[in-house]
Amino acid sequence: MSRTVVFDRTGGPEVLTVRAAAVPVPGPGELLIRVTAIGLNRAEALFRAGTYLDEPRLPATPGYEAAGTVEALGEGVTGFATGDRVDTVPAFSQNDYGVYRTHALVPARAVVHHPAGLTDVQGAAVWMPYLTAYGALAEDGHLRPGDHVLLTAAASGTGLAAIRTARRLGAVPIATTRTRAKKQQLLDAGAADVVITGEEDLVARVDAITAGTGVRTVFDPVAGPGVLTLARTIAPGGRLIVYGRLDPRDTPLPGQDTFAPVTSRFYSMHEVTRDDERLRRAQAFVTAGLADGSFTPAVDRVFEGLDRIAEAHRYLEAGTQVGKIVLTVQNLGLAKFCDPSQPVMVLEP
């Protein structure tokens, strides 16, 4: 038997339950993975709440990111073998596949070989953040060496990945955070400057940092009316990229009153993960960054055991983390999953 996280109705973390189920059999083009670690993402919390891009078909199982080993191959699958260590990438709908399970079916095109040197926890924490940052900042070449890029709410897993991605591109990352509590961690991650938005005037600080030139790109997960302020930091010909909706209010079009020469767009990492050629380039970019040390998975906390999924989602929604939240599927002790040299906070049962 396997165990699966399921919700029968949308709502808060309390709707998540764990149920026994038969071990699935992979169909054509699918892999069966024995999951060891799951990376949590805000997209899954939105899916659970019924406010994500895909409306859940109930009962539903969430989950995009997992690390584990291949247990079985479906017809036509090549490039993998039973026992291979692998990670999943978010290249599917959660209505079709969800990895909050002990045994997960996933399409083979959404599976990558586990990068050498990473633990299972790190493998479950690396792909969503870095693929998201790659697609927004690197895929089309808009962000150039020497350009300034403003990264809002930068203490998330994606925000930290964006800092390191900007650095690898030769750009200059400016991070924002509401309080001073996360400032040093953002600087340690590679931010050239950090703006404390709860204390400082964002536009004035960016103007001072960039010597009046403004930023080439703003990468923002918040949306809402605040984008009008963000637009005032952008240089002519620059770009506002909104990749989330933490603020549920309507998002206006910056520059509509002044016709400022700023391009605005909404962005989803699915633009990369659901296109085979873009996904190939993104995987190569991330793998190279991991190999040369430019990229490291940032793990904030690890929860042990699938039964703690509701607790982990509550922590996710509290918004206090710096980096990714990961859940190990079984409470087997973390020595198997974690690199003891890395600063990971573990929540004991």
Residue-level pLDDT at 256: 60
Residue-level pLDDT at 141: 86
Residue-level pLDDT at 333: 46
Residue-level pLDDT at 334: 43
Taking alpha carbons only, the member of 236, 213, 184 closest to residue 193 is 184
Residue-level pLDDT at 245: 87
Q: What are phi and psi of 12, to 5 degrees?
A: -80, -175
Could you give the residue ranges of the DSSP H alpha helices within 220-302? Answer: 227-231, 270-273, 276-291
Residue-level pLDDT at 345: 40
Alpha-carbon dihedral angle through residues 96, 98, 103, 108, given to the nearest 10 degrees: 60
Taking alpha carbons only, the member of 32, 90, 25 closest to residue 63 is 90
Residue-level pLDDT at 263: 87
Taking alpha carbons only, the member of 346, 324, 280, 341 closest to residue 122 is 324
Q: Which domains does the chain have, with CATH numbers?
A: 2-118+297-347 (3.90.180.10), 130-271 (3.40.50.720)
Three-state DSSP class for residue 240: strand
Residue-level pLDDT at 347: 38
Residue pair 15/7 in contact (Cβ under 8 Å)? The answer is: yes
Three-state DSSP class for residue 1: coil
Query: Which residue ranges in the chain fall short of pLDDT 50?
Result: 332-349
Could you give the residue ranges of the DSSP H alpha helices within 176-264? Answer: 183-189, 202-209, 227-231
SS (H, E, C) 306-324: HHHHHHHHHHHHHCCCCEE
Tell me how far apart the alpha carbons of residues 147 and 158 are, in angstroms, rounded to a whole number: 19
Tell me how far apart the alpha carbons of residues 174 and 218 are, in angstroms, rounded to a whole number: 9
